Structure 1
Amino acid sequence: MASSLTKDAAQQGTPANGGKTFFGHPRGLAPLFMTEMWERFSYYGMRSLLVIYLISGGPDAEKGAQAGGLAMNAATASAIYSIYVAMVYLLAMPGGWIGDRIWGPRKTVAIAAGVIMTGHLVLAVPGQAGFFAGLALVAVGSGLLKANISTMVGHLYDGPQDPRRDGGFTLFYMGINIGAFAAPLVIGTVGQSINWHLGFALAAVGMALGLVSFLVGTRHLSPKSSVVPTPLQAEERAMWLRKGLIWVAAAAVFYGVVGFTGHFTLDWALIPLALLGLIIPITVLGRIKRDKELTDTEQTKVSGYIWFFVAAAVFWMIFDQAGSTMSVFAEKKTNGQVFGMDFPSSWFQSVNPLWVMALAPVIAWLWMSLARRDREPSTTVKFSMAMFFIGASFAVFIIPMMMASDGSKVSPMWLLSIYMIQTIGELCLSPVGLSVTTKMAPQKYASQMLGVWFLAVTAGDCITSLLSTAGADLSGPPVLAAEAGLAVLAGVAVWLSRKKIVALMGDVR
């Protein structure tokens, strides 16, 4: 599970002190913890239902399962899911920009929570048009919230040297995983077993609780969270408004013509968004790389960083199929019983956060233990390990896929094992990627580079969406083998080039 955006806080202010603390941390961490937990509850709860709802009533739905969905095939559902996740992470960059330049982090988060809640309420209303409008609102709100809430966590501490800072972010990250773990068990059960739209409504309730927690606790936040760090000047505001209106008008005219001539299909929306999700990361990295204001050392580090970015895009391309390819497999081809008790397939979406909570302390202890003996793997080796694990997970996935090819159902232990392998890979890549991004970021782009890191998620999911719309059978052994092979090859390439990459990284290790 990709963690929330944590912006560099070298210039962030002093603790918002009060008499009481939250597990030894500033009291303002409590409302931020609760807001993030409930936001993740709503996000992962809806996500656990998304693909199953899209295929419900269609040719790829499980026989005897609840009807009432949009009756799409699995390929279209996977493409929609991938674009949705990609847009959430793509919109984190403009979300951070809006917090920095227009509303300030606190106001942006409050508005974001309201937008997310509204999106889930729209999803709770039956109808295809409303469904896509709801998805768009949730994606926009999540993008607004993702960057700014983490910034406010940083505001609670006295700069990066505050000894409580890392522990505070660790506690905050636990809120993410608690919400992600509980969501499929609650929202997934209600939506899949009782009524889809009631499940979506529960996601709205979760976000409403998060918004209330935030508004009640705002008095404990740092005053700096209400400040707009670099407000737009009047002429800049007019320029951005003019550009935005031009793009909106152009899109409206284009899609109006396509729709009026009767040529519009869902691919007219999915393919441009997927291409946009690939073009923007390439453009952003290219712009940073070509910036003549960067020093030679910074230019060299950007070149080294591109290796990690490409590897991460391949990783997330596979990892995020937990909610699409693996979700369909769980629904149709996995035995939904344990100890004689039936459970809905959406429960499998709780497995990754459960593994994260179980394995993160073990992995952290392992790195510390190896570091004491001066044997901790370098960043390049950790990335290579992550690529091997994610590739191995899909190589293992081929086995139950082939076992179920005759229509039989496999043991849930297969998916539990695959999620475990993927989580180990995630813990080798995600925290390390966040860390190396902050270390290798040019000073000019210190705050923006973590947004760039999350563009790797966007790129990976957009590749998956394009494969789906092109007709690739993502649930077929040949495609699984190709993806597994690509990940392993990427890991081997990073490992073989580790000396070159280390040289490009300069003083970063």
Structure 2
Amino acid sequence: MKVEEQHAQGSKGEGIDKKTIFGHPVGLYILFLTEMWERFSFYGMKALLIFYLTKYHFFSDTEGNHIVGNYAALVYALPILGGALADRFLGFRKAVTFGAVLLVLGHLGMAFEGFQAYYTDGGTAVRDEFAIQCFYFSMGLIIMGVGFLKPNISTIVGELYEQGDSRRDSGFTIFYMGINLGGFIATLLCGWLGETYGWRYGFGAAGIGMLFGLIVFISGQKYLMGKAEPKQPQLLRSRSILGISNEWLIYLLSFGGVFVCWQLVQNHVVVGSLLTITSILVVLYLIWFIATECTPKERGQMIVLIVLTLFTVVFWALFEQAYTSMNLFADRVVDRMTPYGEIKASQFLSLNSLFIILFAPVFAWIWIRLAKKNMEPSTPVKFAIGIILAGVGFGALVIGIQNANELGKVAPFWLALAYFFHTSGELSVSPVGLSAVTKLSVPKIVGFMMGVWFLATASSEYIASILANIAHVDTEGGIVADTKVALGAYSELYSFLLYAGIITGTVLLVLSPLLRKYMYGVK
């Protein structure tokens, strides 16, 4: 899963409760547990999503990939709006609480399965359309909930520390471990429950986890030291044009936004069109801004940032195969039987979180050691390494396919190796990229550029779903009839992604000296 650390600016003002645990504010651990349970619910649900669509409601691979892509794209687009509303009106505490409530409702709503699809004598799939619409509406609640919670809980972490506080980085590291601990537990537990006992149990467990997170956050309010309150409470209480307070107007409009997301998640073409139009408008604005508002130094740095942002689209489009094609690959062609029982396909996703927990400190140590020797790679080189590693991960899967056993099954080692390479690539791109946004952006639009970064991520999620369709396989009730045909389809996709990653990363590697020149000393 993505490295989701986001450094925020400190805040002035005195706290309400300044107790500490292991030298850090108690509020940090409240946020740690809240985020752990939120990520538990998010990744627990996401791990089951493609299987629920293809194996319970009998969606085709193409339909399932599109829905997952729509969902993921919207999840990464909405935090731009949620962050802006929190900063201008709600404050971070209210935004996180409201987002958590929406998430609880959404995850618990997904526990309603309806009846499983079945085929008529004519071969037509009959689905429970009411259950499917409940599912889409629940996804709309989750999308809107993430939009309010995700950008703002990270900001509260930063608000707990004053400017220049040396504990800030270690505080974010602790918080970051909560993200991956939640993801690790979720993909093991929710995946096992959903695939063993029924989808409602996996989705329900995700909802219960989010409920725990909401309870923890509400009960720990006093430990946030007053740093998450609205900046202008009088503006929030003011009457809107509808005669209700601005706060309730925001909640009302947000529920309206849930209905919009409900419809969008079902329409791949509309989501793609909105992303395209938004991206074009953003590019046009940036061209104008760079040409008219920037000094030569700022112009160079902004161009470098835009180039890096475009290259991250390629990385995430490769990386996010985990929740579509790689999940189906694990289910259909990986030999998952062990002397201790069967590994559920969704449980392989836990390897990403496990590898992050194990190797994030190693990567941090490597960068520090290289910096001391004046050998640390520049940001473009780190990006290039990350993209190449993502491509190499697919190379591991291609080798695994070529060495499938007589039954057409691939050894799980190759999938684990792919996740290792992908996670290594992630650690070279994601935290470095978030840092690059803050260092290369013109200060007055750094918030906007962070939004552009998440817009690029949203676009990559959409592109990932289209790429996954290269490996679409015909199924009967979610079951592949011919494993060897499936192997051929996955080999075609992963060979393409192998070369796409290596070639794109190499191009960036070649461009890196030029990009570094226009970074004007920024590492």
**Bin for the TM-score computed over the shorter chain:** 0.7 to 0.9
CA–CA separation in structure 1 for the residues paired with 2:93 and 2:282: 27
Q: Is the 8 A contact 2:471 2:490 kept in 1?
A: no
Percent of matched pairs sharing the same residue: 35
Summarize the alignment of residues 397-416 of structure 1 with structure 2, pairs less than 5 Å apart: 397-404=397-404, 407-416=407-416
Q: Is the 8 A contact 1:15 1:26 kept in 2?
A: no
Matches within 5 A, 1:272-291: 272-291=270-289
**Corresponding position: 1:508 with 2:508:** no
Match of 2:121 in 1: none
**Distance in 2 separating the partners of 1:111 and 1:144:** 7
CA distance in 2 between counterparts of 1:285 and 1:331 reads: 40
| Residue number among 487, 492, 506 corresponding to 2:506 in the alignment | 492
Opposite residue 230 of structure 2, the aligned amino acid is V
Residue matched to 1:171: 174
Residue of 164, 188, 191 corresponding to 1:188: 191
Aligned-pair CA distance for 1:322? 0.6
Amino acid aligned to 2:426: E
Aligned counterpart, 1:4 = 4
Distance 1:481 1:229 in 2: 54
Q: Is the 8 A contact 2:44 2:183 kept in 1?
A: yes
1:25 CA drift (Å): 0.5
Contact 2:397 2:418 (8 Å CA) reproduced: yes
User: Contact between 1:307 and 1:494, CA under 8 Å: does it hold in 2?
Assistant: no
Find the residue that maps to 2:220 and give its secondary structure: helix
Partner of 1:162: 165
Q: CA deviation at 1:490?
A: 1.7
In the alignment, the residues of structure 1 paired with residue 15 and residue 316 of structure 2 have an alpha-carbon distance, to the nearest angstrom, of: 36
Superposed CA offset, 1:318-362 (max 9, x none): 101111111001111112223342221111011100000111111
Q: TM-score, normalised by structure 1?
A: 0.87
Letter in 2 for 1:370: L
CA contact (8 A) 2:327 2:345 kept: yes
**How far 1:124 moved relative to its partner?**
0.8
Give the whole-Å Cα distance in 2 for the aligned partners of 1:207 and 1:288.
38
From 138, 144, 161, give the equivalent of 2:148: 144
Structure 2 residue aligned with 1:385: 385
Q: Deviations over 1:424-446 (max 9, x none)?
A: 11111111111111101111112
- Which deviates the most, 387-396 or 311-320? 387-396
CA distance in structure 1 between the aligned counterparts of 2:407 and 2:236, rounded to whole angstroms: 59
Q: What's the counterpart of residue 465 of structure 2? A: 465
Which shifted more, 72-81 or 162-171?
Answer: 72-81
CA–CA separation in structure 2 for the residues paired with 1:470 and 1:391: 16
Aligned-residue offset at 1:366? 1.1
Alignment pair present for 1:269 and 2:267: yes
1:28 aligns with 2:31: no
The 1:198/1:491 distance shift into structure 2, 3 A limit, reads: same
Query: For residues 282-313 of structure 1, what are the alpha-carbon distances to aligned partners after superposition, in whole Å with 9 as ceiling and x for unaligned?
Result: 43243234223344432322111111111110
Distance 1:19 1:99 in 2: 24
Runs (5+) with no aligned partner, structure 2 = 114-130, 474-485
* 2:53–2:64 CA contact under 8 A, matched in 1: yes
Aligned 8 A contact 1:4 1:147 in 2: no
Alpha carbons of 1:170 and 1:289: their partners in 2 closer, same or farther (altered >3 Å)? farther
What residue ranges of structure 1 are gaps of 5+ in the alignment?
A: 57-68, 256-265
d(CA) in 2 for partners of 1:322, 1:184: 12
Query: Is this contact kept in 2: 1:267–1:469, CA < 8 A?
Result: no
Distance 1:74 1:23, change over 3 A: farther
Change (3 A) 1:15 1:347: farther
Q: Contact 1:392–1:421 (CA<8 Å) still a contact in 2?
A: yes
For residues 250-269 of structure 1, what are the structure 2 equivalents within 5 Å? 269=267
In 1, distance between residues paired with 2:398 and 2:143? 32
1:262 corresponds to: none
Asked if the contact 2:83–2:152 (Cα under 8 Å) also holds between the matched residues in 1, the reply is yes
Contact 1:46 1:187 in 2 (8 A): yes
CA contact (8 A) 2:32 2:178 kept: yes
1:355 aligns with 2:359: no
Check the 8 A contact 1:109/1:144 in 2, yes or no: yes
After superposition, residues 289-438 of structure 1 pair within 5 angstroms as 289-291=287-289, 292-404=292-404, 407-438=407-438
AA aligned opposite 1:125: F
TM (norm. structure 2) is 0.85
Provide the alpha-carbon RMSD of the alignment: 2.8
Residue 107 of structure 2 corresponds to which residue in structure 1? 120
